[in-house]
Amino acid sequence: MRYFTFFLMVLLCCTPVLAEPWVIKIPRAGAPGVDAPSYYPEALLALALAKTEFIYGGFQVQYADDMHSSDRLRAMLITHQGIDVMWSTVTGQREREMRSIDHDIFRGINGYRRLIIRKADTAEFAAITSITDLRQFKSGVGAQWSDKDIFAYNQLPQVAGTRLDLLAKMLAVRRFDYLARGLHEYEYDLTSFANGQLTLADNLLLHYCQPVKFFVNKNNHRLGDRLSIGLALAQADGSADALFNSVPALRQARSAINHFNGRLIPLANPVCSTK
């Protein structure tokens, strides 16, 4: 902490505060509201930026002009065209191509996965006790999700799709057998996409290391430093904890992990094992 304080003092002396707000572009959000998947990352980003106004000046967050796929957003960030920061799961390639900010946004929760299945298959999934059992079923994954690499590494059969709403429809018509979704995601997914045909596999939970971090362009040192400092300050003064606990889905997910007593199936993620 002593060195961190000294670093802040140096920044205060040497960093000019801009008179005009610093415009920071982020991916265009989907549905609004505290239950929406983008709500918490956006709120945490704004908190980190607010914590550093005394160093870097004011800011204004703006959305990208259009909705884009994750791969397209990463390409835009790498070339520094259209967005300045995004949040994404961590892979070796992404960390080589972009600068990641050393803070797991979802604090490990993203790696705990409930299985969304067809209601008719409840009994079959109730019999699963190991990864060997799980290999008898096919998973649905997004074509641009890093989960697909984790599932392949663990020899779990999978079928790729483009969008989550289409994956839910594919599951309903038996193109595959389950969707693995985060503890902070599945309720929103069931409400938005299930149409009464899908449910959760009872007392079954997958776990694998899958941190989610903010990424900036490798040469955007100013924004990368601002986010690193802002997140550290928010963590130190408790405001990051308060924000996390204010989101019902995250609060409930943490409680579910702490009180889970069902069948936990661990999966390996080589990205984490090499760190």
pLDDT of residue 42: 96
Point out the residues of the chain with pLDDT beneath 70.
Answer: 1-19, 30-32, 194, 273-275
At 63, which helix (H) or strand (E)? strand 59-63
Give the pair of three-digit tokens for residue 80. Answer: 């520094």
Task: Give the pLDDT score at 2.
Answer: 46
Report pLDDT for 14. 52
pLDDT for 31 equals 66
**How many Cα neighbours within 13 Å face the side chain of 198?**
30
Do residues 134 and 59 lie in contact, with contact meaning Cβ atoms separated by under 8 Å?
no
